[in-house]
Structure 1
Amino acid sequence: MSRHYIAKIIHKPYPYLFHLKRNLIIAFVLGILICIVNVLAVDQNYVDINFVFSKPFLCTLAGLMTFFSILLVLEVIPRIFFKPDLKENWTVGKECLLIVSLLFVIAIFNNTLSLMISKEPSGNVLLHFLNSSFYVVLLGIAPAFLLVWLNYTILLKENLKKVSLYNEQLESRIIHNENEISEIISIQTSNKNEVIELDINGFLFAKSEGNYIDVYTKTLGKVKWKPYRLTIQKFEEVLGDYPFIISTHRSYVVNIRNINATTGNARNYRISFEGVPHEVPVSRNKFQTFKDAFTIKKV
């Protein structure tokens, strides 16, 4: 397998699926599983000779340590250190790295527990600790990576199927408003002497450029754009009374009535407007809002 092919795989987009309920379920199930495995695999005489606690209590502790280590890696650390951009741009490689980190933490927690409750730790404690941790990761890494890849394949097929059907429905519902009467509103920009005279029916989308926005409009079949000193948040707020004008990305506000075509899947969905050379992204956390906008009658 070439280095280029591996790099291509690890950079493939992958949905960030972790949330509190899912993390609790994973932690609980794996904690119980570790407890059961220890009950079945650990010899009673070995426990009596080497540890200060009974076998049932030792196995329960192993399950609890696994439970808390999973919550630490999947819930606590992401809440503190993972920014929204990181989750939005999650990849197969990042998912695999997170799982490897999880295996390391589980191994470290359980080995630390083992050393703390051992009657008389013998030999090179550090070497034993490292060897045990490496052994746990080595055993878990292959099935973990296989699970990630299988999950990726299943999700990709499901998303492509769902979004393909959705695209067909969406394109059949797109309404062209060339013959509608213009509805013009005035929007005060951050410059006192500058006002945006926006024709709602001709408005396509606005793109954020720092403290400025580029506003794209279409009049008599011709697309024009002009920069204004205004934040995208303020622009969206002013247009809040129009349910067909929504934010699809932190940098974009679009008029869904004027969409020309859609492409992609739920992980990388994009929309285009006639006469505009570049596509407008729909971020993962805005995808449901974007879909819901089309349930409104007479969009």
Structure 2
Amino acid sequence: MIGIATFLYIYGYKYICKAILTAKVMFMNNLNAPFPLLQSNKVKFISSFSFGFFVFVFLYIFQPFGINEVQFYKPLFIGGYALITFSCVAFSFFGLPLLFKNTFNPDKWTVKKAALYTSFIILIISVGNWYYTATIGQEVISLKHSFLKFIGITFSVGIFPTVIFLIFTEKTLRKVNESKAGNITKQIHTDLEIEEEKQENDIIPQIDFLADNNSIPLNQLNFLCIKSEGNYLEVFFFIDGKLNKSVIRYPLKKAFEQVNELNNIHHCHRSFIANFDQIEKVSGNARNYELHLRNLTFTIPVSRGFSKDLIAIYK
């Protein structure tokens, strides 16, 4: 019985550790996921003003945290909190990206950075509110709140506009990328019509893709994409009107060196090489673009670093 109990304890301990490690990896992967970074100065200013305006309206209507006890200059006193909020948010939107250009790189902006950024904004607003209440506020309000309590107060008030702002940012950038994706798709169809007129007289580039002692005949008309899966590659291509897939053990970088001899082949994502002549349409969301290739059952993501190249190709 003791031996069985010991075995179950060790097995259970290993299982729990494995579960914790898996959860940690999943959490870190989510934190490192791409997240849109707001870049429009107009939207930044409107958002800063909206945060300040929301704080003023919220505090004036509900009068929480002892504000209901203020007898004189109440609108002016509440306006001080609104001004602090506006100033801190505007500084974070305009000043910090100028001071830390490498950190505020839209191509490297992630969920983790967005969370830290939001936390920093709330923190400096809390500092401003605490100092304002401890100095000027002493003339009109008798309540005293600790700094930690001010952080809690600022977070409780700021959580609503922050969530609305994040949803608005996501929606706005998604519309922008969807519009650009639509324009790219139109240009692709225009280019395709031109290419079809030329194909009759053109010589189609050919290449024998070599790996693992296998030779895969590829050309501009039958090659679709290469997908990296760990140490293996999945090569998708058409032969006699049927979709084929070959799985080989080969580095993606060396594979690109071979298929790059074909025209219009791009390493558009860390796990994908795609034949842009096979693009049927391009779709977009707030984070990136996705390629829809003809007769392919899955979409191909475009890395944020390659997004500008994609737009430049189909201007």
Give the TM-score normalised by structure 2: 0.54
Deviation at 1:251, TM superposition (A): 0.9
| Cα separation, 1, equivalents of 2:93 and 2:239 | 59
Q: 1:214 aligned to 2:247?
A: no
Question: Is 1:279 the equivalent of 2:299?
Answer: yes
| Structure 2 counterpart of 1:160, from 178, 184, 190 | 178
Spell out the pairing of 1:250-261 with structure 2 (5 A cutoff): 250-259=270-279, 261=280
The alignment partner of 1:253 has SS state of: strand
Alignment of 1:34-73 (within 5 A): none
Provide closer, same or farther for how the CA distance between residues 200 and 292 of structure 1 changes in structure 2, counting only shifts above 3 A.
farther
| Runs of 4+, deviation exceeding 6 Å | 68-76, 111-114
Deviations 1:165-219 (A, max 9, x none): 3322222323459866453334553x4xx15444232211111111111111123
- Contact 1:70-1:106 at 8 Å conserved across structures: no
Alignment root-mean-square deviation, CA: 4.9
- Which residue pairs with 1:270 in the alignment? 290
1:157, distance to aligned residue in structure 2 (A) = 3.0
Q: 1: distance between equivalents of 2:95 and 2:183?
A: 37
Q: Which runs of 5+ in 2 are unaligned?
A: 1-32, 53-86, 136-143
Give the aligned residue type for 1:158. Answer: V
The verdict on how the C-alpha distance between 1:236 and 1:109 changes in structure 2, with shifts beyond 3 A counting, is farther
Q: Tell me: CA distance 1:159–1:71, structure 2 relative to 1, closer, same or farther (3 Å).
A: same
Tell whether the 8 Å contact from 1:272 to 1:278 is kept in structure 2 after alignment: yes
Matched, 1:248 2:279: no
State the partner residue of 1:51.
none
Alignment of 1:133-152 (within 5 A): 133-152=151-170
- In structure 2, relative to structure 1, the CA distance for the partners of 1:280 and 1:68 (3 Å cut) is closer
The Cα of 1:128 is off from its aligned counterpart by 0.9
CA contact (8 A) 1:163 1:266 kept: no
Displacement after TM superposition at 1:279 (Å) = 2.4
Is 1:184 the counterpart of 2:202? The answer is no
**Percent identical across equivalent pairs?**
21
Alpha-carbon contact 2:178-2:285 (below 8 Å) kept: yes
**Aligned AA (1:128):** S
- Relative distance call for 1:233 and 1:109 in structure 2 (3 A) is farther
Aligned residue pairs total 233
- Any stretches of 5+ residues in structure 1 without a counterpart? 1-12, 34-62, 118-124
